[in-house]
Amino acid sequence: MKSSYLGSCHCGAVRFRATLDLDESIVCDCTICVRKGNIANRVEDTDFELLTPLEELEVYRFNKKIARHYFCRHCGIHPFHRPRTMPHLWAVNVRCLENLDMQDVTPRQVHGSQLD
Ligand SMILES: [Zn+2]
């Protein structure tokens, strides 16, 4: 069941709202998700609202330079990205959602490491 969540980086400079189903969360074994400890949940534009202009964030790109890994320029936290396999979606970092008990999140494993 979808619910609406507020999300933020650590310092609060980046804020957003996402409507998502926690049961659709994933963990990925690619090089960057592993290092971030990322738990992702992919949503359409209609379920994602930026409360901070995107221009306020920095973006990290590598390899095929399709995915856009946004991060706060002040605290360095990565609150969401545009995923390589579905760059029209927002991959919210579930760990950045507020008032969430992480024990309620049981993400499914995906294998981004096996992409070229
Ligand atoms: Zn921040």
Per-residue pLDDT of 58-77, as tens digits, reads: 999 999 999 999 999 999 99
| Spatial separation of the C-alpha atoms in residues 20 and 42, rounded to whole Å | 8
How many Å is the maximal CA-CA distance in the chain?
37
Instruction: For residue 16, report the distance from its CA to the centre of ligand 1, in Å.
Output: 12
> Which residues have their alpha-adjacent CB atom under 5 A from ion ligand 1?
9, 11, 13, 72, 74-75
How far apart are the two ends of the chain, measured CA to CA in Å?
33
| Spatial separation of the C-alpha atoms in residues 64 and 84, rounded to whole Å | 8
Instruction: For residue 57, report the distance from its CA to the centre of ligand 1, in Å.
Output: 9
| Res. 91 pLDDT band, cuts 50 70 90 | very high
Instruction: For residue 76, report the distance from its CA to the centre of ligand 1, in Å.
Output: 6
Q: What's the confidence (pLDDT) of residue 115?
A: 81
Task: Tell me: pLDDT of 46 over 90.
Answer: yes
Structural domain boundaries in the chain: 3-107
Instruction: For residue 13, report the distance from its CA to the centre of ligand 1, in Å.
Output: 5
Q: What percent of the chain has pLDDT over 70?
A: 99
Structure tokens at 16: 């957003």
Instruction: For residue 31, report the distance from its CA to the centre of ligand 1, in Å.
Output: 23
The reply to whether CATH 2.170.150.70 applies to domain 3-107 is yes
